[in-house]
Structure formats: C-alpha cells, structure tokens
C-alpha cells in the first residue's frame, strides 16, 4: 500500500512508525515541515532503506510572534502538502501535529481529491487555544479560538479515522459525534535510538555539564509552558544547599525569559539550541534530573513527548505539570515526582530534586525504573500493527492485511479482521 505520513513536527517516534511500515513492505513517504523549529527525529534514509523523506517549508522560518504572518504561512503549507499529495497519489494519508489552518486547507483538498486520510491527533488544539484565550481576555482572541475550534471539528469529521493518544480525548470526540471512529493508541519513544548513557559523557564534557549537578530540560518552550518556573525551581534547589545548574536545550523567545530570570535569581544557566538527534541520548544522559514543564490549562489534552524520551534515557524525571496529564501518570509509575505548575508547589519539587542529588545510588535506581517502564510500554510492533489495520481500513483494503511474524497480540487481531473481511466478501 502507498502511504504518505505527514508529521508537521518531525518527531522521533512518528519517523520510527514510518520506518516500520516501510519495513513491512509498504511504499512510505515521510513528510514534515522543515520550517517548524523543534527537536527532530532521524529524518534521513539509511543505506538499503526504501523509505522516502520529503519535507515541506524548506528554507523558511515561521514567524511565531506575528499571528497574521503565521496564519498565511500555515495556509501556504496546507497548499504545499496538497501539492505533495497530488504528486505522490497515495492510497491513504496519515496526518499528525498539523496546525488547524493548515489542516483545514489539506482536509478540503483530500475531500475534493477523494483521498482517504487518518488524523493522528496529538493535541486538541482548540481546547488549548480556548484556555489561552480565556487568560488573554480579548474578544478578538476568543473569536479566533471559536473559529479554530470549528475548523478542528470540521476536519476531524471528514477523516476516515482518528487516532488519539489518551482516553481523555474521547470525551471531545463524543461531543463532536466522531467517537465511533476514534481509537486510542498511546505515544511511545524509539527504544533502540534513545538509550541510557554515562552521566559525564562526551556531550556533557563539551558543554560543561560534567561534574556539576544538573537539572536538564530539552524540548519546545511555547504557549503551554512557563519557562520562568525552570529557573525558579533551580533557585530553590540551590537555596537548599545543593550547587545545581540549569541546562535548557530549546529555541525561540523563551530564551530571553530564561536568561533574564537566571541573572535575577543568580542561577547558572547553560542555554543551547536543539542538538542533532544522533546525540539526544548523550544530551539527556548529561542531566541528573530531567524536567518536564506543562501549564495547567494544557490539562489532559497535551501529552509532552519529551517525557517519553526522558524515560528511555533512564534518568529520574520531575514533572511540573497537571496531575491528570497522561505523562504525569507515567512519571508516577517510574517513581518520579509530579507537582502542580505553580511557584507555590516548587518547594516540594526542589526537596525531591535535592534528595535525588544527595543520594546518587537511589537516583540510579529511579533511573532504572524509568527505563524499565519505557521498555515495558513502548514496544513498537503492537502499535504498528494497530496503525496498519487502521490505515488499511481507511483505504478500504482490509482484505489485504497480512499476518506478521512479530507483534503476536496485534497479529491475532489482524487475523481476526482478515477472517471477518473474507466472510463479508
């Protein structure tokens, strides 16, 4: 089957799914928006691979601070993706992480072109925007949020199927009337690509994080985050007598906030741009404690993928985030610490962090629990089986499903679906 996978962000586990589908014999093209600045996955073909990589937005930079310019760019990317699809003529398209204006343009094209597609919904964007609009108290912003909500609902109703990443999303689909064609498949991280490393590895020595207790954050810092909390957390750990430093790997306007706050609170800060994906294991290994940050309004509808990478790295994880978030439950299972994203809760977080830094042996055990949880939860074969079934179903080709030698549990379900398809035929 010919499949186009477009992940706007270019994240690691979406690329891993494309590779797995390609290895299963499908003709797969993996597309992403190069102009979107974020941590990227392994976005190039290796020798002997049949997987094709084809970005859009090449050579451009998204103006995130200008609503008008960003809207125009996102609409244009929708047109670019439509042109890419028309050229490739896939049997089915899998789309994820796409901004709503771009998704509306693309969904309209797919409807006219009669190309079936599956929506891989990583976030209920309209819920997040509506929450932010409430804080802005601007009628114009609230109107924009309402328009985006209508657009997201319209697109989702036109998808053949929607894959959501948490049970909490189902309530939204129930309201939209799309519950019957929504399936929950939790996110994962590439276990073979993100592995535990030595604390004072080569990357740590290159960037001066070796030999000094380090709180590390790696990932996007946007509307769903309050970067000042990272500095405040490090300051409270230091005030408890632990000479910790803060290392943040990100890009964008949050950098100015981090610099300003680190100077004000006298917190040593190492601020770096996104690092090559091939070195991400070393980057995460260079932190004694890995920090996840998520605003209260993001709630249950945004599951930060960095948490999954942190667990793979085998380090203690500290979540400054809503307790109802799926990622918070994973951190709890790994014996990490989760506190509310409020400055008043940072004392508890700082106390936990100080205890980890004071007892390296215990911290190592907590890190082992993180990796064990990742190995238990992030098996690719079963997830790929489910995606493959959904894509075949969206394309109306369930009778072509083949039982694979791997992913036993998923393959049993495939065999059942094959039998049902034959009976109906």
Please list the residues that pair with 118 across neighbouring strands: 94, 161
Do residue 213 and residue 344 come from a single domain?
yes
Query: Residues 319, 343: one domain?
Result: yes
* Alpha carbons 88 and 159: distance in angstroms, whole number: 19
CA distance 43 to 8: 12
pLDDT on residue 47: 86
Tell me: do 237 and 372 sit in the same domain: yes
- Which of 166, 188, 210 is the endpoint of a domain? 188
Same domain, 267 and 230: yes
Does residue 40 sit within a domain? yes
Q: Is residue 194 part of a domain?
A: no
Dihedral sign for Cα atoms in the order 108, 125, 303, 9: positive
Shared-domain flag, residues 146 and 220: no
How many Å is the maximal CA-CA distance in the chain?
A: 72
Which whole-number Å values give the CA distances from 329 to 118, 319, 336, in the listed order?
Answer: 27, 10, 10
Q: Is residue 55 part of a domain?
A: yes
Which residues are paired to 96 by β-bridges?
7, 120
| Domain's final residue, options 154, 188, 222 | 188
Residue 236 belongs to a domain: yes
pLDDT tens for the chain, 425 residues long, are 999 999 999 999 999 999 999 999 999 999 999 998 888 889 999 888 999 999 999 988 887 767 788 899 999 999 999 999 999 999 999 999 999 999 999 999 999 999 999 999 988 776 666 655 455 556 766 777 788 889 999 999 999 999 998 888 898 899 999 999 999 998 999 999 999 999 999 999 999 999 899 999 998 887 567 899 999 999 999 998 899 999 999 988 889 999 999 999 999 999 999 999 999 999 999 999 999 998 876 656 667 788 999 999 999 999 999 888 888 999 999 999 999 999 999 999 999 999 999 999 999 999 999 999 999 988 898 899 999 999 999 999 876 666 555 444 344 344 434 433 443 33
How far apart CA 124 and CA 292 sit, in angstroms, is 20
Query: Is residue 417 in some structural domain?
Result: no
Q: Are residues 227 and 357 in the same domain?
A: yes
Are 176 and 68 contained in the same domain? yes
Separation CA 257–CA 251 (nearest Å): 12
Looking at the 3D structure of the chain, how many domains does it have?
A: 2
pLDDT, residue 422, reads 40
Say if residue 248 is in the same domain as residue 135: no
CATH number for the domain spanning 67: value is 3.40.50.2000
Same domain, 123 and 257: no
Provide the pLDDT for residue 220.
85
In this structure, are 28 and 99 located in the same domain? Answer: yes
Helix axes 305-313, 12-23, angle to 10 degrees: 80
Q: Range of 278's domain?
A: 202-377
pLDDT of residue 142: 73
Residues 10 and 126 in one domain: yes
Do the domain assignments include residue 133? yes
Interior/surface letters 28-67, b for 16+ CB within 10 angstroms, e for the rest: bbbbbbbbbbbbbbbbeeeeeeebebebbbeeeebeeeee
Of 188, 222, 250, which one is at a domain's C-terminal end?
188
Distance CA(277)–CA(368), nearest Å, equals 22
Q: In this predicted model, what pLDDT tens digit does every residue of 119-152 receive, in sequence order? A: 999 887 766 666 554 555 567 667 777 888 899 9
Mark whether 162 and 213 lie in a shared domain.
no
The verdict on residue 225 lying in a domain is: yes
What is the pLDDT, as a whole number, of residue 87? 97
Q: Is residue 233 part of a domain?
A: yes
The span from the CA of 380 to the CA of 298, in Å, is 27
């Amino acid at each position: 089957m010919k499949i186009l996978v477009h992940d706007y962000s270019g994240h690691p586990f979406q690329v891993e799914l494309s590779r797995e589908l390609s290895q299963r014999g499908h003709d797969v093209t993996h597309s992403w928006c190069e102009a979107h600045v974020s941590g990227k996955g392994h976005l190039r073909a290796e020798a002997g691979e049949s997987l094709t990589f084809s970005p859009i937005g090449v050579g451009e930079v998204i103006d995130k601070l200008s609503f008008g310019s960003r809207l125009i760019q996102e609409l244009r990317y929708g047109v670019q993706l439509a042109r890419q699809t028309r050229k490739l003529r896939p049997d089915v398209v899998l789309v994820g992480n796409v901004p709503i204006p771009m998704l509306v343009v693309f969904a309209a094209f797919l409807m006219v072109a009669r190309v079936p597609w599956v929506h891989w919904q990583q976030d209920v964007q309209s819920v997040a925007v509506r929450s932010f609009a409430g804080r802005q108290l601007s009628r114009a912003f609230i109107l924009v949020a309402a328009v985006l909500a209508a657009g997201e609902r319209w697109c989702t109703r036109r998808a053949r199927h929607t894959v959501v990443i948490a049970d909490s999303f189902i309530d939204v689909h129930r309201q939209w009337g799309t519950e019957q064609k929504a399936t929950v498949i939790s996110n994962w991280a590439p276990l073979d690509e993100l592995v535990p490393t030595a604390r004072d590895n080569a990357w740590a020595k290159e960037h001066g994080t070796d030999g000094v207790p380090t709180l590390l954050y790696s990932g996007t810092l946007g509307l769903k985050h309050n970067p000042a909390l990272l500095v405040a957390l490090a300051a409270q750990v230091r005030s408890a007598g632990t000479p910790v430093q803060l290392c943040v790997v990100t890009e964008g306007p949050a950098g100015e906030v981090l610099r300003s706050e680190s100077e004000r609170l006298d917190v040593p800060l190492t601020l770096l741009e996104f690092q090559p994906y091939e070195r991400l294991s070393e980057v995460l290994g260079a932190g004694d404690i890995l920090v996840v940050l998520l605003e209260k309004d993001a709630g249950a509808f945004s599951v930060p993928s960095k948490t999954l990478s942190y667990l793979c790295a085998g380090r203690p994880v500290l979540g400054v985030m809503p307790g109802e978030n799926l990622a918070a439950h994973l951190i709890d299972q790994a014996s990490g610490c989760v506190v509310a994203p409020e400055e008043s809760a940072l004392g508890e977080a700082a106390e936990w962090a100080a205890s980890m830094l004071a007892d390296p042996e215990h911290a190592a055990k907590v890190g082992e629990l993180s990796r064990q949880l990742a190995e238990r939860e992030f098996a690719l074969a079963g997830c790929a089986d489910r995606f493959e079934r959904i894509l075949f179903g969206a394309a109306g080709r369930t009778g072509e499903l083949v039982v694979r030698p791997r992913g036993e549990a998923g393959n049993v379900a495939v065999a059942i679906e094959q039998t049902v398809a034959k009976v109906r035929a």
